[in-house]
Amino acid sequence: MSLSSTSQSYGQNETLISSIRNIIKDYPCQSILKEFLQNADDAGASRFHVIIDGRSHPTKALLCDEMKAWQGPAILIFNNAMFKTTDFDSLMQIRVGGKQGDDTKIGKHGLGFNSCYHFTDVPSFISGDSIAFLDPQEKFLPRRHGVTQRGIIGPFPKNGIGGYSEKDQLVPYEGIEGIDFLSTFQGTLFRIPLRKQPSDISDSIFTTDQIFELFTSLKSTISSQFLFLRSIETIEISHIPKEKAPNQLNPLYKAIITGLTENLRNQRKCVMNNKIQAFQMDIEQIENHKIVQKDSWIIATGAQPNPEDSQLNKYSERYRLRILGGIASLHKSSKNDNNRNDIGLGANFPYFKMKSKSDNTFNECQSAIGLEATFASRETKSCKKKTKSDNIFNECQSFVGLGAIFANHEIKSCKKINKSDYISKEYQSIIGFEASFANHEKKSSKQKSKSDNIFNEFQSDIGLESNFANREKKSCQKKSLSVNIFNEYRSDFIGRLYSFLSLPDTTSLPFHLNGTWAQGSDRGRLLMEKDNSPDIDRQKLNWNRHILLDFLPKLYCKLIKKAIELKERENGEGIESNEYREKIHPISKFWPFPIQNNSKYVIEFGFKVLEFIIQKEDLFAGSIENRVNSLFELLSSEQIVQLRNFLKIAWAEIATPNFKSLVCYFPIWKVLSNPLDENSKSVPLKPATCGYILERNIKQYQIKTSNIYLDALGRLNRLILTELNVPKRTIYEYTFEDVEFPKEYDSSYLDFLKDILKDNRIVQNLKDRRCFPNSITKELKKISDLYDNSNLVFRTVFGGESSVFLHPEFSKYIRILSTIGFKNKINLEIFRMCADKVNYLYKNISSLNLESIEGIPFIPITKNLGNPYNLHYKHPQALDCLNNVILPAYREVAWSKMPLIADDVIPPQQVLEKYPSFGKPGISIVISHLRFLYSVLRNDKVWKKNWTDVFRNNIYEVYKWLDVECSSNEGLDLSEYICSEPLFLNYNRNQDPFNLENWVTSADLILNSEYVHPDLARYPTMLKSAGAREIRRPNVQINVRNHDQSRHNQSTLFKFLFDQTPSLNDVNFIVNGHNIKASRYILAASSEIFRQKFISEETSPINPVTITIGDIEPNSMHILLRYLYGQNIDEAIQNRLSLNDNVDLSFEPNTDESQDLVLYKDLLKLSDDYKLDHLKELIELRLSRLVRMSNVDVMKRFAEISNASQLNEYCQHFNRENSGVKT
């Protein structure tokens, strides 16, 4: 028995369905436009048309019943190139591709067509005379000899489809792009019917609305799809609604290259080695048959032989790669809003002004990465590639927000430029760096830490715009305008990498980079960044970096030359407006560095471009130094600062000897400025060839020589300047040869002196210089003339504050300074001198100038204040200064903050009269003591238990003292010392001064109101100075005329006695159910209203009169009648006995304001009803005394109703006087 006879077939296999499923995981659904577009371009098509077909077609005459599911809506994709025989074959070769042998073709992987399986299971196409249907699942096409088929292809009928047995299968194509089934079709039309049910290929199901939305989202960047294609000249997107005929297309949008000439067509297609061409390409976007946008691009393309490196050569042969590439920059763009025909190219980028920055950026990201949010959730199951795309989307989103971050960064003196249009590149080069680089493909924690350090170092460069805005004395207006245009452009344009069509990689450059990159079949992110990982594909990395760093810089120079040529031509023809003419050079406009810190390879590219520009004489002539100067003349100060930052990022990769020889001429380095010279802050940046660096970083001071010192602050700055061979000078040389020592010190000198004192050699040579500061004056002294202030003996002899003491900021240098003469120790002779001086001061205090000795600690202080003060009165020293003690008279207002002078050494009266402020605490001390009472003693258990009265007395003594001070000093403002602190004892809940609820802020107090307790209200001047509000009574007088009601009644009664008219009988008032009787004679005598009522025809002179009164209290009516009978109103209110002896309504006097208010309102109403003017005036006066903030508005309305004009006026004035007071 042998192995061959017993073994069976066995081997690895990938099914077609599994292969397709894996492919579309790498291709987002949005990639369908690009994939079919690149296939059309490779086929040589000039026209590309996508039709969203919403129709459903007949299902009777089909290839088989299973095909009914695919007669519905579809995506139709047309190009005007016919398939060749090899094209039919290559379409079937998945993962191999039919273009492998042609190194000029875009697509080589044989995968792009398969992107259609996101949407369908049965794609089909017509090209030339053939029609084909594909069915990878072998479920829908008819069987052949009983065997399922993955696809079929054959000729279509040439005599129409009317008599064709399977005519319904062809109906979807008829009428589309001229298909009539009568002749050969001059093009290729793909039909991608939309899947209705999940399948083994994909779970994704799309509606025509979703497809419509998908292609609408790609509209914003449709123009950029032309840039590096060679044949496509027109791209159209149309729609057929489900109810329309085939020839009734609704155009959605269209993009077309305009001004095409044979020369331009040849330049687009040219792939000749060592030939670089630059050309202008204009693209129009059309909607609704009107031009809505015009873009003008400058494009440089070229090719060169494969590299001489043997490894790269083998790699290129193995993968059929060739060095091809291009650069495209947006020269101009304009947009016609609202379909107005005002598209003009006169201004730089008006389109970007009109368009939302965030929308533009988002759409750009959508088109390149395929991340339109609407479709993100419709992808087939979650997979790694999808997650990767999502991450890319998030990165793009983080970039979109840059405009908002920098929109308010101003340029000083910038004219004609809106602040919101300006974005600081200087900040753009700093902010976001850590996120961009700290973890950028770094696996070593050491490398990550290095990146973090670089980020911290770069922070020092922020804020340099003002330093260099006037660089080399150019016009600020011109410079700002130039910078603004550049930033406006850069902030809207997102440069990215292309492999003929856009890739996910963004560069943030002001142009796109195209190349035949070594990439995966999924067209994912490129391998560009150097990495020490052993798993990295070195050959792929080296190939991509060769194209980026050795080939594309040449194309950049060609592009810039073309841009300059166009600029000069437009200036000459007057196309550019005068405002923008020559304001910005193409090199500054298309600066080869990213707008924000991007991947290092992008920065390396920028420096390779600079190296190429400077070494060649294509753009600038003269010596290397002259070329560098000519280049930097064209740049803004911010671009130069950004360049320095990028140099530090990429130094390890770019620091070749050849490059160093160029960088040393770059004027990018800050100069150490003279801190005393404001003009030195605007010193232009200098090259490394013009100055020195110090051996270490120190604080600077003014120098007397012409030497220039470059700023080497930061590890990378010092490293680069050292490697550029900048000469070093020692700190010793700088100090004694360059620095100009002052006669008086300033803060900058102190910083400088501290720095140099770290060097012992320098310290020894400062011994005889007058260069050391004292603690009082600005004068500099020799170190041998200065003493240690921390020594008690020295302080006693010279006073606590004296010019003989070393400046306190130099206390940590005492040890080293003592080696050159500084006095920090005492001896017997000095001690005796101190004792003699203290004795002299005691005996001669009245004859001495108090100001000259007030800082000397020679005054004995009280050590014991007794209980309870001793619990917190702690002063261990025996002696203190005059300016730090208080007299015993001020004990209660400051004992916690200052010691009391001993009773037996209180100065005589003549001294106190000569110096009235002696021993008197200041306002801040007293306020501080009040805080102590509130925060410490209020919470002290011993004081709470035993010393309440003493505590309360301390508080009121402080208030009393402050009130006196405020009264004698009108300019004193206590609110400057007390800020919203509850330092005022205002009894509320109880009489406990320790209760926190009884302490309030000045803002809680309103003088002349119930809100201030009487004990606290005794200090109004203090309270007002602290910020308490005040209720102010208006200066309005309510007049009360002289009137004697009794005499009036008596005289009237006599008249009635002799009156011959019928006699007046009693009147019965019914008031809220109470009967109150009165004499009609008295009433008639008191009020004209009553008299008229009683003598009217309706009233019988004999029968009693009944009067009903509502809404009035009976007591109020009783008081009114007493008044009418002649009683004084005050007596009537106090004595409320009824006029009738049998009714007793007496009661105790009432102190409740609310009841008085009801009574007065009743009387005011009655006085108005019966025209009792004098009574009304009396009641108005009483009601005015009851006006409060809480009732003034109600009182005013009642006055208006009751015609009480004087009360109404009072309320109005009350409101005006207290308009700023809210309770």
pLDDT at 1059 over 70: no
Residue range 1187-1194: average pLDDT? 90
Q: Which two tokens stand for residue 1198?
A: 């009642």
The reply to whether 707 and 775 lie within a common domain is no
The reply to whether 1076 and 1141 lie within a common domain is yes
CA distance 347 to 577: 7
Could you tell me the maximum CA-CA distance found in the chain, to the nearest angstrom? 166
210 part of a folded domain: yes
Q: Which two tokens stand for residue 1004?
A: 């809680």
CA distance 432 to 459: 11
The reply to whether 54 and 179 lie within a common domain is yes
Mean pLDDT rounded to a whole number for the chain: 79
Per-residue b or e along 270-283, where b marks 16 or more CB atoms closer than 10 Å to that residue's CB = eeeeeebbbbbbbb
For 241-286, the pLDDT digits (tens) are 988 665 678 999 999 999 999 999 999 988 888 899 999 999 999 9
Last residue of a domain, one of 808, 826, 844: 826
Q: 350-359, 676-685, 706-715, 838-847 — which one is most confidently predicted on average?
A: 706-715
Q: Which two tokens stand for residue 282?
A: 């204009």
CATH code of the domain covering residue 130: 3.30.565
For 865-906, the pLDDT digits (tens) are 888 988 888 776 767 777 778 888 898 999 988 888 887 777
* Dihedral over Cα of 661, 548, 482, 583: its sign: positive
pLDDT at 988 over 50: yes
471 part of a folded domain: no
Q: Which two tokens stand for residue 959?
A: 């208030």
- 1214: region left, alpha or beta (phi > 0 left; psi from -120 to 50 alpha): alpha
The reply to whether 51 and 155 lie within a common domain is yes
Residue range 636-654: average pLDDT? 90
In 765-849, alpha helices (H):
792-798, 814-817, 828-843
CA distance 969 to 416: 53
Lowest mean pLDDT among 357-361, 547-551, 588-592, 1081-1085: 357-361
Measured distance between the N- and C-terminal CA atoms of the chain, rounded to whole angstroms: 112
Q: What's the domain count of the chain?
A: 4
Residue range 359-364: average pLDDT? 39
For 992-1003, the pLDDT digits (tens) are 999 998 999 988
Per-residue b or e along 109-145, where b marks 16 or more CB atoms closer than 10 Å to that residue's CB = bbbbbbbbbbbbbbbbbbbbebbbbbbbbeebbbeee
Lowest mean pLDDT among 118-127, 245-254, 559-568, 1021-1030: 245-254
Q: Which two tokens stand for residue 1122?
A: 């007493």
The reply to whether 798 and 694 lie within a common domain is no
Q: Are 321 and 543 in contact (CB under 8 A)?
A: yes
CA distance 780 to 772: 5
Q: Are 101 and 320 in contact (CB under 8 A)?
A: yes
> What is the distance of C-alpha 542 from the center of its chain?
41
CA distances to 219, 354, 466, 988 from 350, rounded to whole Å, are 19, 6, 28, 69
Give me the amino acid identity at 969. N
* Contacting residues for 322 by C-beta, under 8 A, at least 6 apart: 103, 104, 271, 303, 306, 316, 516
261 part of a folded domain: no
CA distance 785 to 804: 7
pLDDT at 124 over 80: yes
For 1084-1093, the pLDDT digits (tens) are 888 888 888 8
Q: Which two tokens stand for residue 1143?
A: 């009714």
Lowest mean pLDDT among 426-440, 941-955, 1177-1191: 426-440
* Contacting residues for 612 by C-beta, under 8 A, at least 6 apart: 553, 554, 556, 557
Q: Would you state the pLDDT for residue 260?
A: 93
For 572-626, the pLDDT digits (tens) are 765 555 444 446 889 989 999 988 767 889 999 999 999 999 988 888 888 999 9
Q: How confident is the model at residue 864 (pLDDT cuts 50, 70, 90)?
A: confident
CA distances to 1109, 1162, 1167 from 1155, rounded to whole Å, are 20, 11, 18
pLDDT at 849 over 70: no
Last residue of a domain, one of 826, 861, 883: 826
The reply to whether 98 and 74 lie within a common domain is yes
- 1062: region left, alpha or beta (phi > 0 left; psi from -120 to 50 alpha): beta
Q: Would you state the pLDDT for residue 678?
A: 72
Q: Would you state the pLDDT for residue 1138?
A: 42
Q: Would you state the pLDDT for residue 917?
A: 80
Q: Are 788 and 762 in contact (CB under 8 A)?
A: no
Lowest mean pLDDT among 182-191, 669-678, 904-913: 904-913
Q: Peptide bond preceding 305: is omega within 30 degrees of 0, i.e. cis?
A: no
Q: How confident is the model at residue 676 (pLDDT cuts 50, 70, 90)?
A: confident
Helix (H) or strand (E) holding 484: helix 476-492
Q: Which two tokens stand for residue 1199?
A: 């006055």
The reply to whether 1170 and 1105 lie within a common domain is yes
For 152-190, the pLDDT digits (tens) are 999 988 888 888 889 999 999 999 999 999 999 999 999
CA distances to 486, 690, 936 from 510, rounded to whole Å, are 9, 32, 67
The reply to whether 79 and 160 lie within a common domain is yes
Q: Residue with structure tokens 């070195």?
A: 538
pLDDT at 552 over 90: yes
pLDDT at 132 over 90: yes
* Contacting residues for 570 by C-beta, under 8 A, at least 6 apart: 576
The reply to whether 162 and 27 lie within a common domain is yes
> What is the distance of C-alpha 696 from the center of its chain?
38
Lowest mean pLDDT among 514-528, 920-934, 1145-1159: 1145-1159
Boundaries of domain holding 98: 16-217
Name the residue with higher pLDDT: 868 or 1044: 868
In a 3-state reduction of DSSP, which class is residue 416?
coil
Q: Would you state the pLDDT for residue 727?
A: 95
Residue range 88-114: average pLDDT? 61
* Contacting residues for 191 by C-beta, under 8 A, at least 6 apart: 74, 75, 76, 123, 124, 125, 126, 172, 173
Lowest mean pLDDT among 114-123, 217-226, 450-459, 972-981: 450-459
Q: Would you state the pLDDT for residue 238?
A: 94
The reply to whether 685 and 799 lie within a common domain is no
For 138-155, the pLDDT digits (tens) are 999 999 888 989 999 999
Residue range 1178-1199: average pLDDT? 91
Q: Would you state the pLDDT for residue 843?
A: 59
Give me the amino acid identity at 862. T
Give the 3-state secondary structure of 417-477. CCHHHCCCHHHHCCCCHHHHHCCCCCCCHHHHHHHHHHHHHHHHHCCCHHHHCCHHHCCHH
pLDDT at 716 over 70: yes
HSE, CB side, 13 Å, CA atoms: give it for residue 130: 15
Strands (E), 115-210: 124-128, 130-134, 151-155, 185-193
pLDDT at 808 over 90: yes
pLDDT at 519 over 60: yes
Give me the amino acid identity at 881. C
CATH code of the domain covering residue 1060: 3.30.710.10
840 part of a folded domain: no
Lowest mean pLDDT among 81-95, 188-202, 331-345, 450-464: 450-464
For 71-82, the pLDDT digits (tens) are 999 999 999 999
The reply to whether 1076 and 1151 lie within a common domain is yes
Q: Would you state the pLDDT for residue 1050?
A: 61
Q: Residue with structure tokens 């202030």?
A: 789
For 370-426, the pLDDT digits (tens) are 333 333 333 333 333 434 434 433 333 333 333 333 333 333 333 333 333 333 333
CA distances to 723, 956, 1131 from 949, rounded to whole Å, are 80, 11, 45
* Helical packing angle, 384-400 and 16-26, nearest 10°: 10
Residue range 852-866: average pLDDT? 71
CA distance 655 to 720: 9
The share of the chain scoring above pLDDT 90, in percent, equals 39
Lowest mean pLDDT among 442-456, 556-570, 671-685: 442-456
* Helical packing angle, 637-654 and 715-723, nearest 10°: 70
For 306-319, the pLDDT digits (tens) are 888 888 888 888 88
800 part of a folded domain: yes
The reply to whether 181 and 91 lie within a common domain is yes
Q: 132-146, 675-689, 837-851 — which one is most confidently predicted on average?
A: 132-146
942 part of a folded domain: no
What phi and psi, each to the nearest 5 degrees, are found at residue 814? -60, -45
Q: Residue with structure tokens 């043997």?
A: 310
1177 part of a folded domain: yes
CA distance 20 to 249: 32
* Contacting residues for 107 by C-beta, under 8 A, at least 6 apart: 35, 38, 39, 42, 97, 99
1082 part of a folded domain: yes
